[in-house]
A and B are shown apart, each in its own frame.
Chain A
Amino acid sequence: MTARTLFEKLWDAHEVVAETADTPAVLYIDLHLTHEVTSPQAFSNLRARKLPVRRTDRTFATLDHSTPTDTDQLFGKIPIRMQSAAKQIHEFEKNCAEFGVELLGLTHKQRGIVHIIGPELGLTQPGKTIVCGDSHTSTHGAFGALAFGIGTTEVGDVLATQCLLQRKPKTLAVNVEGALPFGVTAKDLVLAIIRELGVGGGTGYVIEYRGSTIRALSMDERMTVCNMSIEAGARAGLVAPDETTYAYLNGKPHAPQGAAFDRAVAHWKTLPSDADARFDRQIDIDASTLEPMITYGTNPGMSIGISAKVPTQANDEVHAKALAYMGLTAGQALQGQPVEFVFLGSCTNARLSDLRAAAAIVKGHKVAPGVRFLVVPGSQQIKHLAEAEGLDRVFIDAGAEWRESGCSMCLGMNGDLVSRGSYCVSTSNRNFEGRQGVGARTLLASPITAAASALAGRVSDPRSRLTA
């Protein structure tokens, strides 16, 4: 048998009908995650056609995007401030009830950002196909699952048929070697990869992250890397499952248990790319030369090492337009740039390990005057675990806001906003114009860079606050 990549094994195992010149493949979807924003029109479509949800047992729902992170609004002490969001949330509750889809509702202990709870609950597993009406579905690829974002029409297709029409994408190997230097995190690594590929460089490909650096990453870190695959244009990112993956999943509520778990692991071990499998394209990254990264522009490819200067690119209109929006000049240092907001959250960097790393820097210090520092755990479970080890106190004592989980300030649709013209060091994944609020100026960075910047009130190198 010919050697196959991990992607090809996943694809082959899910072809219900193979593709032909005239028709795409019919691909079976093992897990469909849904949320309030990209599903209403899909449910309306089902209703209009009098169709049920084909596999309610493979469909899960959570509330995250337009959901408030303010405790009183979330728990109903006061009404949800944004009326359109409230309506959307209630319509989603109604849709899930009517169609029999399990919803982790507003006050549910397991509710959280869709790409955080899938792994946390053990729903995300190697070998699965996973989709969600959200581009960061690529996160789940960290487990060796083929996971990608879809539009609302496709959400409807999957609800109705558990399948999607797909053309087979190409494969791109991103080989990463070398140890991550002191103070350099998975977030910095993925920002460097996106800079290398360019924001459209991965279009049409599924990325497999490979190499010793990737193997050494924890599951949380692998999720951070896979999460941002879409920022290079790739719909999906993959990391082959290994002992780190199995150890993470062992005992998770929706993972196979006991003997079934052992059988699953035996299967998962067959998934990694064969030694002589061929990729359509390859790039190599040397992790050992990286430093903490930060973005200066209006797409995630526009990043620099934290000690570097904003680049000069003569006759580049896109670059000039981005700098004008950001209020920055070519040749200036970003370090020392005053900031008004710091956001620690999102499906990229709001897992327990991210909160711990940031808290280690914040502990015993104060957030700089004039800085609003929002800390938003990725899920209610993470919030609970963080509180059990006192992380909430560390942040609150420093003067940060400790919130209920949700997408929050990652995107401007739930009331958590960066004000016009203000700078925000953010651990999220997109620095697009207006993403965090109209006129907001986003600087993407790691949780430790965010924490160090919150204390300084300026863009700050986290290495100065870390003890070796």
Chain B
Amino acid sequence: MDPIRTIHSRTVVMPSSNIDTDQIMPARFLTTTTRDGLGKHLFADWRYDGNGQPNPDFILNRSEAVGCQILVAGRNIGCGSSREHAPWGLYDYGFRAVVSTEIADIFRNNCLKNGLIPVVVDESTHAKLIATPGSLVSIDLEGCVLTLPDQSTVPFVIERFARYCLLNGVDETGYLLSKSAEISAYEARTQL
């Protein structure tokens, strides 16, 4: 995984609350056995009509969304299914951060493991971001600060170890593997 420090990008705003992972990546795309190429199916049922044509009203089909790396979503984004295909799709599409007032548990975990920064902000910051789609925002992972277009800064919290891994491009599996002596000792102790 490539290290991530800062993201500086315009935002894409999807104000609905409770955007579930079935919307982010519908189940029919889950028969894949790789993690590649899911960006083209991202939000498929909102993005394309019944004939597979782009729905011109959907934000990702509009020119202002091109190249945006920050998704600002309504409360409780990522609820529902644990499918990691959702963050894989977001990352493959080009997103590097998801901002909301609340991010569902499993989805947040999955984001952290795939180079997507989950940023939880307060209601008033969130309201500002929702009201100004396409605004230029910076996210500094090292300092855990989000900078709004008016240069005001908002701190955010990210689990320390996950942050360390993102900043250094370290993967957690390697860390767990380094604990194998402790794991064996636990197995011996509990006679497993």
A residues adjacent to B (C-beta < 8 A): 13, 16-17, 21-24, 26, 28, 30, 37-38, 40-41, 44-45, 49, 51, 54, 58, 65-66, 82, 84-85, 87-88, 91, 133-135, 149-154, 156-157, 160-165, 167, 199-200, 203-204, 230-231, 233, 235, 299, 317-318, 321, 411-413, 420, 430, 432-435, 438-439
Contacts and interface: CB of A to CB of B under 8 A. Distances in A.
A233 B22 contact: no
23 contacts: A13-B190, A17-B179, A22-B161, A24-B161, A37-B83, A38-B83, A40-B33, A41-B33, A41-B35, A45-B173, A51-B177, A84-B32, A135-B82, A156-B173, A157-B172, A160-B173, A163-B179, A163-B183, A203-B102, A317-B16, A412-B28, A434-B26, A434-B45
A85 B35 contact: no
A28 B176 CA distance: 11
B57 interface: no
Contact of A434 (B22, B76, B159, B173): B22
Given A203-B76, A233-B79, A411-B27, A153 B182 contact: no
B161 A151 contact: no
A447 to B, nearest CB: 22
B189 to A, nearest CB: 9
B111 to A, nearest CB: 9
Given A84-B31, A165-B175, A200 B75 contact: yes
Contacts of A44: 33-34
A383 B125 CA distance: 53
Given A13-B190, A40-B34, 9 more contacts: A37-B30, A82-B31, A150-B82, A161-B173, A161-B179, A165-B172, A199-B18, A430-B80, A434-B45
B106 A153 contact: no
Interface in B54-102: 74-76, 79-84, 87, 102
A199 B76 CA distance: 8
Interface residues on B, range: 35 or more
Contacts of A299: 18, 20, 79
B6 interface: no
Given A16-B179, A38-B83, A435-B27, A165 B50 contact: no
B176 A161 contact: yes
Interface of B: 15-18, 20, 22-23, 26-28, 30-35, 45, 50, 74-76, 79-84, 87, 102, 104-106, 109-110, 113-114, 159-161, 164, 172-173, 175-177, 179-180, 182-183, 186-187, 190, 192
B22 A435 contact: yes
Nearest to A46: B173
Nearest to A132: B82
B70 to A, nearest CB: 21
B18 A200 contact: yes
Given A38-B84, A162-B183, A233-B105, A87 B33 contact: yes
Contacts of A49: 173
